[in-house]
Chains A and B, each alone.
Chain A
Amino acid sequence: MPDDAPREDEHKVDAEAPVVADPVAAALLEHFEGAVFHESHGQPVVYLDRAQWAEAAMFLRDEQQFTMLLDVTAVDHLLDIERLHVEGVAPERFEIVANFISHPRNRRIRLIAEVPAADPEVASLAPLYDSADAAEREVYDMFGITFPGHPDLTRILMPDDWIGHPLRKDDSPARVPVTFKEDPGPR
């Protein structure tokens, strides 16, 4: 058996890839070039190129029985003092995070894609999962990341005429002056 192993490895891009215990993550790594597996406190996480984002979600839904997209959110790493380093992932300012669950297999997986600040855009998952509709509107509202393919990408929590994206780290909470009733103007 050990004799077979080196020949198998020759076909892989990275011969020293760590053993992926999670079968779903292993399947994703096989199908998507450049995908990186990371075990985050016992949970399987796969880092992907954002060009593969929607394709990976479709793969999870159609071939891996991932029945529900639980959540889509984003992270702004602009001011991070220290950042989780994952081998093989080029860090960018934004990260988009999607949590999936498969009820028949009783498994979870998390997909993460790096999104550069210069071009904050990721393909929408709303055509695949209805739950992405509201979640991506929230990410757009809070981080200004746009989702081509989303049916109605408008603000959801903030007023429609709001300027800025509140959860970006450079959007200071003190930017909007507090006004009190009967005051002649903002303090």
Chain B
Amino acid sequence: MSKHSLDPLERQTDEGAQELRPQHELVVTGGPWPELEGESQTMIINMGPQHPSTHGVLRLMMELDGETVVRAKPVVGYLHTGMEKTGEELTYVQGATNVTRMDYAAPLSNELVWAMAVERLLDVEVPPRAVWARMMLQELGRIGSHLLFQATNGMDIGAVSMLLYGWREREELLRLLEMITGLRMNHNFIRPGGIAADLPDGWQEETLRVCNIVEAGIAEYDSLLTENPIWLERMVGVGTITTEQALSLGVTGPILRSTGFAWDLRTAQPYLAYDEVDFEVIYTENGDCFDRYRIRLYEIAESIKIVRQCVEKMPRGDYRLQDKKVTPPPRPRINESMEALIHHFKLFTEGFKVPAGETYVTVESPRGEIGCYLVSDGTGKPSRLHIRGPSFYNLAAMAPMMEDRLVADAVAVISSVDPIMGEVDR
């Protein structure tokens, strides 16, 4: 037998086990149990980081008095992989592959905010086709993220069949994204200077087909859940938050809109071409779990509206900037032009240099305001990349939502906040 055997059975012995056995017989007798004297006793339990309803590796420390949550505190960091540090080691061309993995349920928002920050530092403008394609992809990403929410939220509350329905529609959407970008997730499609490739042949028909499928899907969810008495019982009035609390906590997105505050960056501070499309900002008044569910459901319908307008109005022309220092030349050019080959080689080996400066760019992601604070030191790699993940701030809202509610409601609250831990921990 080797000295360092890995087989645990070979190391087991009965030695010393005798002393550990109890000396007297253990018996359990029935009540009456002694009454707790004085104030009720509380205990602290951990929910997560491996709890199935915590959407990844969120850990909640909860102080419980019986079944009531007295205090709750989210503990994060279990998915910390140093992505901001990694971002300092990657060139501006490679950077999108890094940021797209942060909010993995809506990767296109991350890519957009990164690309817009780099473009802001370079002071370049992307052509109209890239702007509209980006906007369409944003909305497709929003639909995908909200479908994911509908599926997992349904499962967390007990409507397990919702998981299958949500996934069914999301699958169609991911296939569409695969057709357009080449990948189902972590697309690396929106890059500084435009988009990686032109929209493929037949994208209009496919996009409209998926829009129709999703539209039928959300009508089904609506009839299945919105007036379901069990659903209402679990959701209405649970996990309420006020506008003042949300503003102070830095909460954005559907959670802020559920408190009656109709703030959406797409209309308040329009970027891309959001001022040229017609859509409504969905908001409700009560700030509870049910409102957050409703907002996300109806936002899918608004996003479909925007996608249809994008299909209709998509301009022709270049899909990326024709600046050889920022975007690679078209592939056929490389075969015939020495300069094109050099530019292509330089761009993918050392990238392009960005003048020294700093900027903060924001986008309305499905979870709220995602921001990118980018500092350049005049080289080919950023000196500092910081992503303001909306989930990082939205998590703090869980504590006021859960306090003085039951543990069972805590699951509804976690689900309705819709946190993505990859973005929280980065």
Asked if B386 lies at the interface with its beta carbon under 8 angstroms from chain A, I say yes
Once bound together, how far apart are the Cα atoms of A43 and B386, in whole Å? 17
- Return the contact of A99 from the options B76, B121, B263, B360 (Cβ within 8 A): B360
Q: Which A residues form the contact surface with B (CB < 8 A)? A: 40-43, 45, 67-71, 73, 75-77, 79-84, 97, 99, 103, 106, 108, 110, 129-131, 133-135, 138, 142, 155-159, 166-167, 173, 182
CB A165 to nearest CB in B, in angstroms, measures 11
Say which residue of A41, A79, A99, A167 sits within 8 Å of B120 (CB atoms): A41
B58 to nearest A CB, angstroms?
A: 13
Interface majority SS (helix, strand, loop, mixed), chain B: mixed
B327 to chain A, nearest CB (A): 20
Given contacts A73-B386, A81-B377, contact A130 B249 (CB under 8 A): yes
With A70-B388, A82-B378 known as contacts, the answer to whether A41 contacts B359 (CB < 8 A) is yes
Task: Contacts A81-B379, A131-B393 known; list 9 others, CB within 8 Å.
Answer: A71-B386, A75-B358, A79-B383, A81-B378, A82-B379, A97-B358, A108-B360, A131-B248, A138-B392
For the complex formed, measure the closest distance between the CB of A183 and the CB atoms of chain B, giving whole angstroms. Answer: 11
B375 located at the interface, meaning its Cβ lies under 8 Å from any Cβ of chain A in the complex: yes
A134 CA to B121 CA, complexed, in Å:
28
How many whole Å from A50's CB to the nearest CB in chain B? 17
Residue of A nearest to B399 (CB): A130
Say whether B85 faces chain A, with CB atoms less than 8 Å apart: yes
Q: Please determine whether B359 and A69 come into contact, CB atoms closer than 8 angstroms.
A: no
Residues from chain B with Cβ under 8 Å of A138 in the complex: 392
Size of the B side of the interface (Cβ < 8 Å), in residues, is 43
| Given known A-B contacts A84-B356, A157-B76, A182-B6, A130 and B383 have beta carbons under 8 A apart | no
Check B311 for interface membership: any CB of A closer than 8 A.
no
Interface-centre pick from A67, A77, A99, A157 (highest chain B CB count, 10 A): A157
Among B76, B393, B396, B426, find the residue whose CB has the most chain A CB atoms closer than 10 A.
B393
In the bound complex, do residue A80 and residue B377 qualify as a contact, i.e. CB atoms below 8 Å apart? Answer: yes
27 A-B pairs with CB atoms under 8 Å apart are A40-B359, A41-B121, A43-B360, A45-B358, A70-B369, A71-B388, A73-B386, A76-B384, A77-B377, A79-B377, A97-B373, A99-B373, A99-B388, A110-B360, A130-B245, A130-B249, A131-B248, A131-B396, A133-B396, A134-B392, A135-B250, A156-B77, A157-B76, A157-B426, A159-B77, A167-B384, A173-B89
